[in-house]
């Protein structure tokens, strides 16, 4: 299993959570070697780093660790010339800048040697940034699997369209390299795994169906995310009140954008009717722009907390105003598991059956300011509706989205 993201602790972000639990599922039936890199948050300066490594080592047959490369500016230049140099190199090689930034020649050499020696029967890439290490010729020696999470190109285009890109000119120039990189997946991988049917259709439409698939799935399997119910118990009772909460890794662009949008556009309208309302932003590594939101009335930025579930439980409503990102969101599943009614965007509820004809109401959908305000008002004013939605959502998680069930589906997709 290749994961340039160090998947421990399994709470650092969506990639870490998914990778850890799928790793654990495969290890139950196979001898798994995890090849990973230390992230900026698992360095020797981190007092928990060594403990994290040892705890992760207990979850696998073998743990192989490489350092993240130390990189300066491309071509020894800085500023605009450096950016253009990196973009130019990406275009020439067809490898996106963010992939080249993490690429380790030492890790590549290790993978090449292991495959040549016939050391493994199956190799999985957890997230598409790891696809760079897979040579098309590997498919002659072992099964190759990409657990893609989502398409990088689609995500970047959504950021540009939403006006959330920090440097839209740079991102537009990055798209050709990303598209070339993702179109190679069909040659590299026998099987591809994504989290939603929508993502599966996107992969197939771009010619990314893997050659090893059957006619029914186009070579792309759907394996959603899950929840550890031991970490996210259902709260014992509805707390009432006027408390809103948003949870996520607060250095991720899609979460930063969501928090800013809600505080600046939605919260003032909610406070005009409920002056006492509070909004808590929970999640580690809050960006400076997120920390600044704490100056707004009723807003608190809590940062990392010992238990996300315990941070969710006191909330009347969990709002998930995501405008970016693809795939099933861990934060949505976790709020539902905790028994907190959700008001979320189409992005936040992607891949989940939460409303519609013949479907129990499991969340309220909102995409505009007026829709958010109306949904929050409904839940504030009608406690029975809150309890009904929370109960139906928890049942959905218990039936379909525990990591035990998701792990079994992943094993079937990649190893059978």
CATH classification at residue 123 = 3.40.50.2000
- Domain shared by 165 and 33, yes or no: yes
- Domain shared by 215 and 249, yes or no: no
In a domain, 238, yes or no: no
CA end-to-end span of the chain: 16
Instruction: Output the pLDDT for position 340.
Output: 98
In a domain, 236, yes or no: no
Instruction: Output the pLDDT for position 215.
Output: 42
In a domain, 336, yes or no: yes
Element (H, E) at 109: helix 105-116
Q: What string of DSSP letters covers 371-404? A: HHHHHHHHHHH-HHHHHHHHHHHHHHHHHH-BHH
- Domain shared by 307 and 407, yes or no: no
CA distances from 199 to 152, 153, 229, 253, 410 (A): 11, 12, 26, 20, 16
Residue-wise pLDDT tens digits, 359-371: 999 999 999 999 9
- Domain shared by 192 and 302, yes or no: no
Instruction: Output the pLDDT for position 72.
Output: 53
Length of the chain: 416
- Domain shared by 409 and 392, yes or no: no
- Domain shared by 177 and 38, yes or no: yes
Domain ranges, residue 396:
243-400
Residue 389 in contact with residue 375, Cβ under 8 Å? no
- Domain shared by 351 and 383, yes or no: yes
Angle at 119 between CA 115 and CA 124, to 5 degrees: 65
Of 100, 102, 103, nearest in space to 87 by CA: 100
- Domain shared by 120 and 43, yes or no: yes
- Tell me which residues of the chain have a pLDDT lower than 50: 42-45, 73-77, 92, 211-213, 215
Quote the pTM value. 0.85
Number of domains making up the chain: 2
In a domain, 386, yes or no: yes
In a domain, 232, yes or no: no
- Domain shared by 150 and 261, yes or no: no
- Domain shared by 216 and 273, yes or no: no
Angle at 178 between CA 83 and CA 187, to 5 degrees: 140
- Domain shared by 391 and 408, yes or no: no
In a domain, 237, yes or no: no
In a domain, 169, yes or no: yes
- CA 195/CA 281 separation, integer angstroms: 26
């Amino acid at each position: 299993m290749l994961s340039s993201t160090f998947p421990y602790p399994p709470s650092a972000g969506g990639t870490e959570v998914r990778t850890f639990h799928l790793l654990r599922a495969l290890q139950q039936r196979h001898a798994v070697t995890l090849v990973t890199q230390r992230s900026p948050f698992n360095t020797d300066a981190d007092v928990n780093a060594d403990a994290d490594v040892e705890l992760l080592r207990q979850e696998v047959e073998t743990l192989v660790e490489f350092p993240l490369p130390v990189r300066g500016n491309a071509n020894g230049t800085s500023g605009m010339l450096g950016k253009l140099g990196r973009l130019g190199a990406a275009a020439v090689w067809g490898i996106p800048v963010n992939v080249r930034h993490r690429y380790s020649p030492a890790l590549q050499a290790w993978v090449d040697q292991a495959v040549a020696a016939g050391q493994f029967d199956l190799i999985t890439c957890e997230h598409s940034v790891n696809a760079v290490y897979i040579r098309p010729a590997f498919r002659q020696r072992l099964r190759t699997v990409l657990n893609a999470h989502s398409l990088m190109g689609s995500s970047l285009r959504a950021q540009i369209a939403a006006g959330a890109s920090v440097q839209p000119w740079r991102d537009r120039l990055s798209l050709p390299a990303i598209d070339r990189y993702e179109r190679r997946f069909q040659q590299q991988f026998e099987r591809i795994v994504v989290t939603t049917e929508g993502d599966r259709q996107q992969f197939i439409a771009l010619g990314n169906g893997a050659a090893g698939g059957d006619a029914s799935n186009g070579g792309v399997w759907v394996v959603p995310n899950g929840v550890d119910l031991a970490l996210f118990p259902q709260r014992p009772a509805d707390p009432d009140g006027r408390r809103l909460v948003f949870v996520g890794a607060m250095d991720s662009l899609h979460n930063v954008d969501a928090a800013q949008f809600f505080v600046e556009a939605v919260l003032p309208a909610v406070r005009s009717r409920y002056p006492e309302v509070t909004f808590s932003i929970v999640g580690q590594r809050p960006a400076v722009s997120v920390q600044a939101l704490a100056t707004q009335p009723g807003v608190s930025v809590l940062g990392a907390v010992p238990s996300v579930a315990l941070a969710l439980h006191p909330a009347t409503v969990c709002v998930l105003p995501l405008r970016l990102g693809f795939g099933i969101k861990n934060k949505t599943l976790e709020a539902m598991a905790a028994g907190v009614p959700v008001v979320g965007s189409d992005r936040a509820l992607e891949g989940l059956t939460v409303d519609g004809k013949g479907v129990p109401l499991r969340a309220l959908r909102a995409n505009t300011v007026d829709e958010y305000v109306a949904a929050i008002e409904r839940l504030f004013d009608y406690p029975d509706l809150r309890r009904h939605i929370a109960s139906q959502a928890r049942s959905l998680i218990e039936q379909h989205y525990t990591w035990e069930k998701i792990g079994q589906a992943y094993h079937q997709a990649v190893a059978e």
